[in-house]
């Protein structure tokens, strides 16, 4: 997942006599960019059903479509194979995978090695609470038929893999206000219509 | 044209499909309708259509034709359109897509929109997936929003800034002024995201870190905020199970960790608050334990006083007793990290850790095993080994290999006596014999050889084990080797350690011959037993029987056995005078590599690389034999294949096989083992490769012509090429900078950038003065990794001082010879 972690910017050694701060060449990378080798954050967040059907995918790293599909497949296979009453953490490549099942949905995220898994569980739980508050006793069908709302809520809670807002009420208020701005109410009613 | 069906209608319809084919048909039909709707530039329903497209995308169907439509939606004035448009952009338009950059202008406008929710959408999109170019263009807008008083926007701008910094680290400094009063905010959202931003800055740049430590006095501010959180009463807005804003607490703790690491003053300033958090946090729910966990990690990383460290380890010890599996798992992981530095403190929890070996959860068992190995020392070796052997008996097959290796290592380091050591090895071989790694066999043989006084005991025990069970190959191999070597001790009944058994030469030969014919034996094992039988010809008196066996196998179908038998036969016939010398007792062998205690922890899967890999040898003989075949076809008698890949120093004597066996045992004393093969095995073996002289790739390198990359104002830069041998995807370029002017060029700095698909590493330059009048040159090595074998392009930046004035120049280098990147 995380590709090469070679040095990405030319490094001068200490005796090279260059008076640059931090002895690291600052490079201008005009059209070109290097892949920086560490992101201390969540790499992705996936929701899938017990049959392995994807219900939501949020990627915090740019990855090609093919690789995303492969990761989703790996995740669903690994997590669904877990026996009950095992711990909620897995190791996959060099990432920690934290997952939790809520009713028929699995919430699964991947973290860097440095991150706090127990807190990640709390983060997942907070997201579920937000969904629950919005939909009222949320169930998988809510998320299937209102997937875009699930994304909107997620985007008010997380950004770039980090938490934006720690207050449930605040997130709920923002979503409500945004919903109010929508021009065609019939198109996007709050409550699911199936 | 009727209105396109609604999103939820589509979802309902697709869910009624009973087969994959039916679903695919529905989707194709709808996609066609959507496509024609897009073509008609329909503004009213674009939003609905893109939403449907996104749903189908989630099911796994292609949706790239909707990319431009997302852009149109973003540009629309309607909020609904923008909302879906930005969502679509985040799902379909990551930075790899060509149209990604087209979003920049829309995002820029929306960042300045009058409605904060539109601004929020733009910030969110930029902060989740903005490319470096976009970040560069819009960083100014983000910085502006970071200073706004609107907390809704401020918190989003902070995280957006984090993303910008991740993508374009040089821009970090521009956000510095805006961070000045971020922490005086009351709003928790802003506080949280500010802490994240500060964390990112401190982690990326040591200068920033020391700036925040010293100038901004960040630590006291953070301590104050954390204290308020803990001491404040119930706050309904941020409460989680009785704890006030745990998310913020954890982030602050993490930032404190970074600030305190390696810095005495900062560490001291945070000692109190850490102790307070560690003792006052409610631990009945996961959230409290999450905070404690973060606290422990912080305490272990900073320069905390020893009392605090012991407190931290005790918390982990308590975690180990918790009912919650997650917490036990986390405790074991942390203890594993701290066991090196705080060994004694962790030792106190040894019994709890060993109990975790019996846990039902696989992840916990594995962690407990790794930790147990780390805790083994001279004092507890006997007790620990008992537990570990018991674990080996009952654990899953996945664990057995690692556990066996770990036990071998631990036994080697801390064995209280040779007999105990041999017994332990025997126990492992008999209980998990088929799971031990291939390289354990030579290691064990060496161990046994070196324990001279235990030879009789060892061979007796191994013989008895063979009588019970011949299915576990490593055990059988070690046993047959030992019987071959020490068969005389076995028969003569010399064992001191235990009751010697009565066994005759014939019985021993029965067992060895049984191995040869058994279906359970692998070819390697058969080889071992045939050689063992041969060795016994100098130790036993029943020569005729051995001769018979050897000659029978001279026509074996197995080529390896056949070759051995034929050579042994020759030993009997033509070289009988040499036989006893050749089959003498093995001398004491030196070990090639030892694994220190630190490596026991990383044992899992790592032992192979440290010990000189015997696996290389069997692999290598294969292309050699192919090359030999080619030689035969060419009928070349005078071509001597300089194949350094064959088994080392194979003298054309009949004794070759025994030396071969020595070669298998990865020794230093005898023939030099093959170094890492210079012909990389990862490529399909080109038959002719083995025929040319080594090193292969330097020949190609000699063919890559050097090139002039830059030549202006008297400064000339030439590139010469080499290919790095272990990895053919790395091109090693050496730059030679020369100066034809009269004045020297000082403070010469060479920088390079390559396209995204490449990776670049610059080693340090030979000097930074380019002498005048071509009297010398500055050289520097660049390593370029080009896994996709794309055409190499480079942009270089040169700065130097010439005749007192600074000079800077940029240039594109596109004239790389094709051989350098193909």
Find residue B712's DSSP bridge partners. B715
User: Is B809 an interface residue toward A (CB < 8 Å)?
Assistant: no
Q: Which two tokens stand for residue B541?
A: 């008196």
Inter-chain contact A155–B327, Cβ cutoff 8 Å?
no
pLDDT of the residue at A53: 94
Q: What CA dihedral angle connects A176, A182, A185 and A191, to 10 degrees?
A: -30
Q: Which of A54, A163, A184 sits opposite B80 (nearest CB)?
A: A184
| Mean pLDDT of the B49-65 span | 93
Contacts of B162 in chain A (CB under 8 A): 160, 162
Distance CA A34, CA A27 (A): 10
Residue-wise pLDDT for A33-81, tens only, equals: 223 335 568 999 999 999 999 999 999 988 888 899 999 999 999 999 9
Contacts of B167 in chain A (CB under 8 A): 33, 36
Strands (E), A60-147: 89-92, 95-102, 105-111
Residue of B nearest to A183 (CA): B80
Distance from CA of A133 to the nearest CA of B (A): 14
Residue-wise pLDDT for B202-248, tens only, equals: 999 999 999 999 887 899 999 999 999 998 878 888 999 889 999 99
Distance CA B396, CA A157 (A): 41
Nearest to B185 by CA among B156, B225, B218: B225
pLDDT of the residue at B714: 87
Distance CA B10, CA B276 (A): 56
Q: Which two tokens stand for residue B497?
A: 């350690």
For residue B497, the number of C-alpha atoms closer than 13 Å in the C-beta half-sphere is: 16
Per the model's pLDDT, the better-predicted residue between B662 and B344 turns out to be: B344
Is there a contact between A21 and B207 (Cβ–Cβ < 8 Å)? yes
Q: What is the mean pLDDT of chain B?
A: 82
Instruction: List chain B domain ranges.
Output: 438-583, 707-820
Residue-wise pLDDT for B90-135, tens only, equals: 999 888 888 888 899 999 999 999 999 999 999 999 999 899 999 9
Distance from CA of A116 to the nearest CA of B (A): 7
Inter-chain contact A87–B363, Cβ cutoff 8 Å?
yes
Residues 140-169 of B with CB under 8 A from A: 152, 155-156, 159-160, 162-163, 166-169
Residue A10 lies in a domain: no
Distance CA A70, CA A1 (A): 10
Inter-chain contact B170–A26, Cβ cutoff 8 Å?
yes
B707-820 CATH pick, 2.60.40.1230, 1.10.10.60, 3.40.50.720, 3.30.1490.390: 2.60.40.1230
Question: B758 in helix, strand or coil?
Answer: coil
Distance from CA of A105 to the nearest CA of B (A): 16
Number of domains observed in the structure of chain A: 1
Nearest to B175 by CA among B196, B151, B192, B152: B196
Inter-chain contact B58–A147, Cβ cutoff 8 Å?
yes
Distance from CA of B700 to the nearest CA of A (A): 25
pLDDT of the residue at A185: 52
Per the model's pLDDT, the better-predicted residue between A30 and B662 turns out to be: B662
CA distance readout (Å), B697 to B486, B583, B730, B818: 47, 42, 12, 15
- Can you spell out the DSSP letters for B281-296? S--SSHHHHHHHHHHH
Distance from CA of A27 to the nearest CA of B (A): 7
Residues 101-120 of B with CB under 8 A from A: 115, 117, 120
User: Is B250 an interface residue toward A (CB < 8 Å)?
Assistant: yes
Q: pLDDT confidence of B450, banded at 50, 70, 90? A: confident
Q: What are the φ and ψ backbone dihedral angles of B138, each rounded to 5 degrees?
A: -105, 0
pLDDT of the residue at B794: 86
pLDDT of the residue at A191: 42
Residue-wise pLDDT for B534-579, tens only, equals: 999 888 888 888 888 888 988 888 899 999 999 999 988 888 888 8
Per the model's pLDDT, the better-predicted residue between B812 and A7 turns out to be: B812
Instruction: Answer yes or no: is pLDDT of B664 > 80.
Output: no
Q: Which of A18, A88, A155 sits opposite B124 (nearest CB)?
A: A155
Buried b vs exposed e over B134-159: b needs ≥16 C-beta within 10 Å?
bbbbbbebbbebbeeeebbbbbbbbb
Contacts of B361 in chain A (CB under 8 A): 85-87
pLDDT of the residue at B192: 96
Distance from CA of A160 to the nearest CA of B (A): 4
pLDDT of the residue at B389: 92
User: Is A133 an interface residue toward B (CB < 8 Å)?
Assistant: no
Q: Which of B6, B47, B117 sits opposite A181 (nearest CB)?
A: B117
| Mean pLDDT of the B49-56 span | 94
Residue of A nearest to B130 (CA): A62
User: Is B604 an interface residue toward A (CB < 8 Å)?
Assistant: no
Residue-wise pLDDT for B601-633, tens only, equals: 333 333 333 333 333 333 333 343 443 443 344
Distance CA A100, CA A79 (A): 9
Helical (H) or strand (E) element with A152: helix A147-157
CA distance readout (Å), B304 to B270, B308, B349, B493, B605: 9, 6, 21, 62, 34
pLDDT of the residue at B684: 40
Inter-chain contact A159–B160, Cβ cutoff 8 Å?
yes
pLDDT of the residue at B646: 35
Q: What CA dihedral angle connects B175, B178, B184 and B188, to 10 degrees?
A: -60
Work out whether the CA dihedral A22, A25, A29, A34 comes out positive or negative: negative
Contacts of A164 in chain B (CB under 8 A): 155-156, 159, 189, 192-193
Distance from CA of A69 to the nearest CA of B (A): 8
pLDDT of the residue at B822: 67
Contacts of B59 in chain A (CB under 8 A): 54
CA distance readout (Å), B107 to A139, A162, B129, B164: 34, 21, 12, 14
Q: Measured in whole angstroms, how far is the alpha carbon of residue B115 from the centre of its chain?
A: 47
Distance CA B255, CA B271 (A): 14
Q: What percent of chain A is predicted at pLDDT more than 70? A: 73
Distance from CA of A80 to the nearest CA of B (A): 15
Per the model's pLDDT, the better-predicted residue between B380 and B615 turns out to be: B380
Q: pLDDT confidence of B288, banded at 50, 70, 90? A: very high
Distance CA B786, CA B273 (A): 50
| Interface with A, mutate which of B44, B83, B779 (most A CBs under 10 A) | B83
Inter-chain contact A89–B760, Cβ cutoff 8 Å?
no
User: Is A84 an interface residue toward B (CB < 8 Å)?
Assistant: no
CB pairs under 8 A between A and B: 246
Per the model's pLDDT, the better-predicted residue between B727 and B55 turns out to be: B55
Q: What is the mean pLDDT of chain A?
A: 78
Residues 511-550 of B with CB under 8 A from A: none
pLDDT of the residue at B680: 37
pLDDT of the residue at A40: 64
Q: Which two tokens stand for residue B193?
A: 């995201």
pLDDT of the residue at B805: 86
Inter-chain contact A145–B8, Cβ cutoff 8 Å?
yes
Place of tokens 């292309």: B623
Greatest Cα pair distance, chain B, in angstroms, is 103
For residue A69, the enclosing domain spans 42-187
The pTM of this model reads 0.68
| Mean pLDDT of the B35-48 span | 89
Instruction: Answer yes or no: is pLDDT of B470 > 80.
Output: yes
Distance CA B782, CA B731 (A): 8
Residue-wise pLDDT for B685-733, tens only, equals: 333 433 433 333 444 444 578 888 898 888 899 998 876 656 667 788 8
Instruction: Answer yes or no: is pLDDT of B194 > 90.
Output: yes
Q: Which two tokens stand for residue B202?
A: 């401190």
**What is the side-by-side strand order in the sheet with B707-712?**
B707-712, B715-723, B730-739, B778-785, B759-762
Inter-chain contact B289–A32, Cβ cutoff 8 Å?
no
Distance from CA of B793 to the nearest CA of A (A): 11
Residue A35 lies in a domain: no
Instruction: Answer yes or no: is pLDDT of B82 > 50.
Output: yes
Instruction: Answer yes or no: is pLDDT of B364 > 70.
Output: yes
Nearest to B295 by CA among B321, B270, B317, B328: B270
Inter-chain contact B759–A34, Cβ cutoff 8 Å?
yes
Distance from CA of B373 to the nearest CA of A (A): 20
Residue A193 lies in a domain: no
Contacts of A88 in chain B (CB under 8 A): 325-326
Per the model's pLDDT, the better-predicted residue between B225 and B343 turns out to be: B225
Nearest to B300 by CA among B319, B274, B320: B274
Instruction: Answer yes or no: is pLDDT of B647 > 60.
Output: no
Q: Which of B83, B124, B785 sits opposite A6 (nearest CB)?
A: B785
Contacts of B171 in chain A (CB under 8 A): none
pLDDT of the residue at B489: 87
Distance CA B545, CA B549 (A): 6
pLDDT of the residue at B659: 36
Q: Which two tokens stand for residue B445?
A: 């043989």
Residue A23 lies in a domain: no
Inter-chain contact B768–A16, Cβ cutoff 8 Å?
yes
| Mean pLDDT of the B338-366 span | 87
User: Is B724 an interface residue toward A (CB < 8 Å)?
Assistant: no
| Mean pLDDT of the B140-150 span | 94
Q: pLDDT confidence of B362, banded at 50, 70, 90? A: confident
Query: What CATH number has the domain bearing residue A100?
Result: 3.30.450.60
User: Is B720 an interface residue toward A (CB < 8 Å)?
Assistant: no
Q: What percent of chain B is predicted at pLDDT more than 90? A: 38
Inter-chain contact A27–B751, Cβ cutoff 8 Å?
yes
């Amino acid at each position: 997942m995380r590709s090469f972690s070679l040095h990405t910017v030319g490094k001068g050694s200490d005796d090279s006599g260059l008076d640059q701060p931090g002895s690291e060449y600052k490079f201008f990378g005009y059209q070109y960019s290097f892949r920086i080798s560490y992101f201390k954050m969540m790499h992705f967040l996936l929701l899938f059903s017990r049959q392995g059907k994807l219900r939501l995918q949020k990627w915090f790293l740019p990855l090609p479509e093919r690789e995303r599909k492969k990761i989703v497949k790996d995740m669903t296979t690994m997590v669904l194979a877990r026996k009950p009453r095992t711990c909620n953490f897995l190791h996959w490549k060099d990432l920690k995978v934290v997952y939790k099942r809520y009713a028929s949905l699995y919430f699964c995220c991947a973290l860097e090695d440095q991150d706090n898994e127990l807190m990640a569980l709390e983060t997942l739980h907070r997201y579920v609470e937000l969904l629950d508050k919005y939909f009222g006793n949320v169930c998988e069908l809510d998320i299937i038929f209102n997937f875009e709302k699930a994304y909107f809520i997620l985007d008010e809670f997380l950004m770039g893999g980090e938490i934006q807002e720690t207050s449930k009420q605040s997130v709920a208020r923002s979503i409500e206000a945004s919903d109010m701005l929508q021009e065609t109410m019939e198109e996007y009613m709050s409550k699911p219509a199936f | 044209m009727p209105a396109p069906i609604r999103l939820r209608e589509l979802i309902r319809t697709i869910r009624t499909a009973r087969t994959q084919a039916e679903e695919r048909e529905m989707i194709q039909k709808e996609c066609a309708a959507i496509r024609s709707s897009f073509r008609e530039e329909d503004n009213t329903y674009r939003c609905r259509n893109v939403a449907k497209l996104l749903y189908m995308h989630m099911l796994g169907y292609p949706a790239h034709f909707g990319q431009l439509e997302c852009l149109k939606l973003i540009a629309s004035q309607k909020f609904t359109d923008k909302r879906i448009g930005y969502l679509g952009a985040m799902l379909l338009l990551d930075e790899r897509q060509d149209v990604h950059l087209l979003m920049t202008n829309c995002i820029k406008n929306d960042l300045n929109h009058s409605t904060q929710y539109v601004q929020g959408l733009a910030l969110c999109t930029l902060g989740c997936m903005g490319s470096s170019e976009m970040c560069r263009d819009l960083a100014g807008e983000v910085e502006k929003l970071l200073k706004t008083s609107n907390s809704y926007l401020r918190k989003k701008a902070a995280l957006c800034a984090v993303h910008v910094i991740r993508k374009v680290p040089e821009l970090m400094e521009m956000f510095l002024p805006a961070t000045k009063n971020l922490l005086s905010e009351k709003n928790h959202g802003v506080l949280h995201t500010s802490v994240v931003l500060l964390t990112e800055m401190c982690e990326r740049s040591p200068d920033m870190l020391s700036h925040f430590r010293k100038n901004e006095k960040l630590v006291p501010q953070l301590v104050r905020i954390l204290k308020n959180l803990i001491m404040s009463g119930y706050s309904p807005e941020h409460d989680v199970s009785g704890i006030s804003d745990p998310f913020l607490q954890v982030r602050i703790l993490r930032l404190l960790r970074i600030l305190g690491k390696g810095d005495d003053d900062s560490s001291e300033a945070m000692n109190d608050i850490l102790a307070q958090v560690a003792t006052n946090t409610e631990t009945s729910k996961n959230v409290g334990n999450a905070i404690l966990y973060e606290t422990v990690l912080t305490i272990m990383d900073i320069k905390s006083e020893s009392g605090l460290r012991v407190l931290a380890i005790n918390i982990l010890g308590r975690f180990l007793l918790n009912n919650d599996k997650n917490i036990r798992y986390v405790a074991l992981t942390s203890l594993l990290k701290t066991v090196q530095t705080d060994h004694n403190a962790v030792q106190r929890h040894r019994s709890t850790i060993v109990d975790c070996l019996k846990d039902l959860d696989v992840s916990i068992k594995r962690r407990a095993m790794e930790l147990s190995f780390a805790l083994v020392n001279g004092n507890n070796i006997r007790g620990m080994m008992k537990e570990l052997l018991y674990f080996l008996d009952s654990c899953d097959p996945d664990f057995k290999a690692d556990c066996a290796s770990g036990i071998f290592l631990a036994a080697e380091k801390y064995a209280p006596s040779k007999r105990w050591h041999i017994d332990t090895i025997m126990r492992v071989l008999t209980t998990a014999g088929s799971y031990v790694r291939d390289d354990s066999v030579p290691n064990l043989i060496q161990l046994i050889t070196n324990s001279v006084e235990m030879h009789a005991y060892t061979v007796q025990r191994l013989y008895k084990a063979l009588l019970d069970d011949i299915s576990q190959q490593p055990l059988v191999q070690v046993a047959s080797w030992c019987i071959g070597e020490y068969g005389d001790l076995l028969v003569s009944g010399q064992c001191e350690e235990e009751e010697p058994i009565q066994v005759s030469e014939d019985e021993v030969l029965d067992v060895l011959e049984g191995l040869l014919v058994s279906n359970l034996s692998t070819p390697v094992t058969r080889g071992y037993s045939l050689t063992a039988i041969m060795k016994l010809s100098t130790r036993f008196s029943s020569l005729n029987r051995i001769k018979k066996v050897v000659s029978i196998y001279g026509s074996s179908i197995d080529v390896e056995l056949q070759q051995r038998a034929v050579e042994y036969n020759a030993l009997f016939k033509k070289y009988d005078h040499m036989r006893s010398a050749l089959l003498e007792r093995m001398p004491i062998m030196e070990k090639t590599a030892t694994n220190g205690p630190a490596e026991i922890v990383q044992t899992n899967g790592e032992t192979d690389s440290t010990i000189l890999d015997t696996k290389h040898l069997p692999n290598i003989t294969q292309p050699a034999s192919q090359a030999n075949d080619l030689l035969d076809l060419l009928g070349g008698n005078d071509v001597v294949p300089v194949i350094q890949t064959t088994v080392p120093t194979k003298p054309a004597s009949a004794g070759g096989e025994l030396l071969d066996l020595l070669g298998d045992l990865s020794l230093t004393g005898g023939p030099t083992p093959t170094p890492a093969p210079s012909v990389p095995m990862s490529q399909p073996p080109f038959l002719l490769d083995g025929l040319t002289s080594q090193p292969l790739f330097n020949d190609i390198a000699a063919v890559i012509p050097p090139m002039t990359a830059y030549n202006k104002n008297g400064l000339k830069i030439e590139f010469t090429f080499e290919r790095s041998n272990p990895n053919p995807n790395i091109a090693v370029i050496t730059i030679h900078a020369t100066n034809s002017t009269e004045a020297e060029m000082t403070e010469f700095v060479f920088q390079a950038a390559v396209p995204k698909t490449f990776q670049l590493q610059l080693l340090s330059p030979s000097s930074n003065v380019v002498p005048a009048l071509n009297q010398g040159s500055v050289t520097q090595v660049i390593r370029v990794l080009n896994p996709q074998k794309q055409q190499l392009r480079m942009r270089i930046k040169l700065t130097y001082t010439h005749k007192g004035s600074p000079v800077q120049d940029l240039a594109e280098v596109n004239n790389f010879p094709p051989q350098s990147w193909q």
